[in-house]
Each structure stands twice: as C-alpha cells, then as structure tokens.
Amino acid sequence: MGNTIKVKVNVSDNPWISSYKEFSFSREKIESIAKNLVVECTGRDYTASHSYNKHVSFAMEKVWDSSCGSIIPLYKALIIVLRELQMPDEGWSGGATAAIRCLESSIAYATPGFIEAKRYNEIYGT
C-alpha cells in the first residue's frame, strides 16, 4: 500500500455524458477520518440504515470545507479505507459497515438524475 489513495470520479453534471477526473489523497489523512467514522458509528444498534447518517455527517463536518467543491471524491477514498477496516463478522450495524452504507447512499443521492428517477418510480412505479 502506498501513501496515496487515488480515486476516479465522474465530474459531469450530465447523466448521459461521463467526464472522469482523478483525485489523490494522503492515505494517512483518509485513515484518520475513516477511523473517526468507525468510532462514530460503532455501538449503535439502529434498525434503519439512515439513522447512522447523523453520526457520519457530524464526523464529516469536522473535516470537510464545503467551499472545496464536491465531497464525492473524499467519500470514495473513505470507502476504500473503510473496506480495509471492515471486520468480516461485524454485521449490518458494525461501525465500518454502517459508515460505508451511509457514504454509498450519499454518493447515490448526489448522482445526476438519481432524485428524478427515484421520484418517477415513487409516482409511477417500475
């Protein structure tokens, strides 16, 4: 493992035309944030996945400056490290697993067209 984590993210606002950009992060810094996310989500036994969002949001507020642009590259880098921290038997409500689910949901909601497709499905069905 190197000292850098690289992720490629689609930066296009158009759901039909992709444009990828590569982002690099310090592994040490990402690991620190990921460990904090695990701590925030550990020991909680919620029945709904979205209940962990407040803990993830709280931890992210401490480290993210919203003027930097999209948070998606950071989320993707965190997911890479969280998968390394994930214990094989930690279960659905384990700290790393819960944090991964929250970050993946946030990425999905930030994807262009996702909200519109979700609304269409709720109104008209599949």
Domain presence at residue 41: yes
Number of domains forming the structure of the chain: 1
In a domain, 34, yes or no: yes
User: Would residue 17 count as lying in a domain?
Assistant: no
Give the pTM. Answer: 0.83
* CA 15 to chain CA centroid, nearest Å: 19
Reading the chain (126 residues) residue by residue, the pLDDT tens digits are: 689 999 999 888 777 888 999 999 999 999 999 999 999 988 888 888 788 888 898 889 888 887 887 889 999 999 999 999 988 888 777 889 999 999 998 888 887 677 777 778 888 876
pLDDT of residue 113: 74
pLDDT score of 1: 61
Confirm whether 120 is domain-assigned.
yes
Domain presence at residue 96: yes
The answer to whether residue 13 sits within a structural domain is no
On whether residue 20 sits in a domain, the answer given is no
β partners of residue 91: none
Residue 19 resides in a domain: no
pLDDT value for 126: 65
Domain region containing 91: 27-124
